[in-house]
Structure 1
Amino acid sequence: MSDLLKSPNFQTGSDLEWEYASPGIQRQVYGYDDRVMLVKVKFEKGAVGDVHQHPHTQVSYVESGVFELTIADETRVLKTGDGFYVPPSTLHGCVCLEPGVLIDVFSPHREDFI
């Protein structure tokens, strides 16, 4: 692990800027180093996380809301308290059915989010 790429040890949600991700979607980047990253993503009802893929492993937790989520060729509706796993380089995307928040963990970190 490189000490050059590392977030502060503590993050305070009220001090983190919400970044525009796409229409109806904002994110806050929490702790990270070159091996892992935690991101909070806020969705408005009807917002679409376009189908995409990336080389990172992703594990996510539905903090609030309801989402129709597609991973590869499987689609499910997930609600508060549910979670999902996306293998590297796998197509995935979602539609927000009720306003909510996803907590995403990426390994390694998402360089494009820093």
Structure 2
Amino acid sequence: MNNNLFQIESETPWEDLGNGIKRQIYGYDDSVMMVKVKFEAGAIGVLHQHHHAQVTYVESGVFEASIDGNVKTLKQGDGFYAPPHKTHGVVCKETGVLIDVFSPHRADFLK
């Protein structure tokens, strides 16, 4: 469990995932986790699936999102829900940031 009740952006480290993608892990416990993900234009969040429910908010930029074969272009203020075990991913069309919320937390993101 993350005991930090407050997360300050300037004090929260970015993890470079390569290929134009970086992430910051914000608050979490066993049941929920929020993650900020920065994409450069052209970066690809490859199609994948997991047992977590995921809700994503587009903070900035333009993304082509795919969920279970359904594709939609999303911009600032839009979002999507990826149910557990549904294949999903994004292609960043214009540099931007996604805010992901997972339930339960993504243990695989923690070191």
Instruction: Give the TM-score range, shorter chain.
Output: over 0.9
1:28-43 alignment runs, 5 A limit: 28-43=24-39
Q: Is the 8 A contact 1:6 1:34 kept in 2?
A: no
Residue 7 of structure 1, CA deviation = 3.6
Supply the distance in 2 between the matched residues of 1:7 and 1:77 (Cα, whole angstroms): 36
Q: For this pair of structures, how many residues does the alignment match?
A: 110
Identical columns (%): 61
1:57 to 53, 59, 71: 53
CA distance in 2, matches of 1:95, 1:87: 19
SS of structure 1 residue aligned to 2:105: coil
- Cα displacement (A) at 1:21: 2.2
Pair 1:8-2:4 in alignment = yes
Q: TM-score, normalised by structure 2?
A: 0.96
Q: Which runs of 5+ in 1 are unaligned?
A: none
| Structure 2: tracts of 5 or more residues without a match | none
SS in 2 for 1:10: coil
In the alignment, does 2:89 pair up with 1:105?
no
Instruction: After superposition, give the CA deviation of every residue in 1:14-48 in whole Å (9 maximum; x if it has no partner).
Output: 00110022310000000000000000000000000
Which of 70, 86, 90 in structure 2 is aligned with 1:90?
86
Report deviation, 1:73: 1.2
Instruction: Give the C-alpha shift of residue 75 in structure 1.
Output: 0.3
User: What CA RMSD, in Å, does the superposition of the two structures yield over aligned residues?
Assistant: 0.7
